[in-house]
Structure 1
Amino acid sequence: MKRSLILLAIVLILAGAAVYQNNGKHDDALAASSDVRPKPGYTAPTLTLPDLKDQNVAIGGKQDKLTLVNFWASWCYPCEMEAPDLQALAKEYKGKLQILGINATSLDKERQAREFVDQQKLTFPILMDRKGNAQELYKVNSFPLSVLVDGNGIVRERVQGVIDKSKWQEMIDKWLDAAIEEKASGNAASKAS
């Protein structure tokens, strides 16, 4: 009996969450909890990690641009395959897209991670997840893993593994266009009132 009540409560909570999430308001997206991995429509977890110069960089939350958060390790061959495309995207979308590379430093050697950055000639910010906090919050269980987060801090895409640069461009363009439309409709609404 007790078990049935608990299951009923869980079903009602999930149904309520689904209705709440699908009401079309970006600011009201559900926050990712410890048992749910950040996925499209959910708020990206927020935290701060040091970059290669030990300067703290904020991840998640409202940002002034679309953000691509990429989790990688120096020993990960698919990460090595993906790195040139990420660097090309950083140059192509400069000013419109922020790429943050998060090294799984808790599972990697920091010296090797720095060598990887130098070898790949990566110019976008590289953050060091020395304690594994970011991996835990973003539920990273294999590499590479990338999360595309809009300016409102909402996860729009979650990509496990490597995808073609053209597929990235398609996703990035889609969410950049959505941000322009949202801004335009917000400006039109403010003018009308």
Structure 2
Amino acid sequence: MKRNAAILAIVLLLAAAIFVQIGKKDEKQTAAPTQTGPRPGMFVPSFSLPDLDGKPYQVGGARDKPLILNFWASWCGPCKMEVPDLIDLQAKYGDKVDLVAINVTSQDDEQKARAFAKEYGINFPVLLDEPGKVSESFKFLAIPTSFLVDKNGVVQEVVNLLPKAEWEKKIKALIKGR
């Protein structure tokens, strides 16, 4: 009898511990970020960069739609592989998510970046990071690197080169707010 009571007490303690942990996990997911940074769960760093026409484009804070920031360069082989998929996805989901390409111009050539955008017929804003400060602030190691940002301006995920089907899954989840 004492043995059964001891086992029951242990089971109840474990159940209580699991319940507390689940509650803490839910609190973390719903809590507002307290930091800005390029990592998931943080607000996307605010910045302004010129587009190909020289007009400033502002990023940071809440938006009407989720945002994908794609860092790339004209000499990048994987970027050349990825851009046709991004163009197709922009055509399909552009009314539900914003896609912005940021050329790492400090490590590229502006004229080559412009030629790349024209050659591929990029149908979303292309920003030029000539000084490299924005690219540097996002602290990525390879290109292409994309930051998926929700409507509240919070980075949800950081991804590199993906097949089109995976991109589509991530975009659908971003739109749904997951």
Bucket of the pairwise TM-score, normalised by the shorter protein? 0.7 to 0.9
Q: Quote the Cα distance in structure 2 between the aligned partners of 1:57 and 1:23.
A: 30
Question: Contact 1:60–1:149 (CA<8 Å) still a contact in 2?
Answer: no
Paired residue total: 154
Q: Quote the Cα distance in structure 2 between the aligned partners of 1:177 and 1:165.
A: 18
Q: 1:32 aligns with which of 28, 31, 36?
A: 36
Q: Quote the Cα distance in structure 2 between the aligned partners of 1:100 and 1:52.
A: 12
Q: Please state how far the C-alpha of 1:155 moved relative to its aligned partner.
A: 0.4
The residue that corresponds to 1:182 in the other structure is none
**Stretches of 4+ moved more than 6 A in 1?**
none
Matches within 5 A, 1:118-157: 118-157=118-157
**Could you report, residue by residue, the CA deviation over 1:138-161 in whole angstroms, capped at 9, with x for unpaired residues?**
11221100001011000011013x
Return the TM-score normalized by structure 1: 0.75
The residue that corresponds to 1:57 in the other structure is 57
**Could you report, residue by residue, the CA deviation over 1:83-123 in whole angstroms, capped at 9, with x for unpaired residues?**
00110111000211100000000110000000100111101
Answer yes or no: is 1:166 the counterpart of 2:165.
Answer: yes
Question: Contact 1:49–1:127 (CA<8 Å) still a contact in 2?
Answer: yes
> What CA RMSD, in Å, does the superposition of the two structures yield over aligned residues?
1.7
Question: Contact 2:150–2:177 (CA<8 Å) still a contact in 1?
Answer: no
The one-letter code of the counterpart of 1:168 is: W
Structure 1 unaligned spans of 5+? 1-17, 180-193
Structure 2 unaligned spans of 5+? 1-23
- Choose 1 or 2 for highest CA Rg: 2
Return the TM-score normalized by structure 2: 0.82
Question: Contact 2:52–2:128 (CA<8 Å) still a contact in 1?
Answer: yes
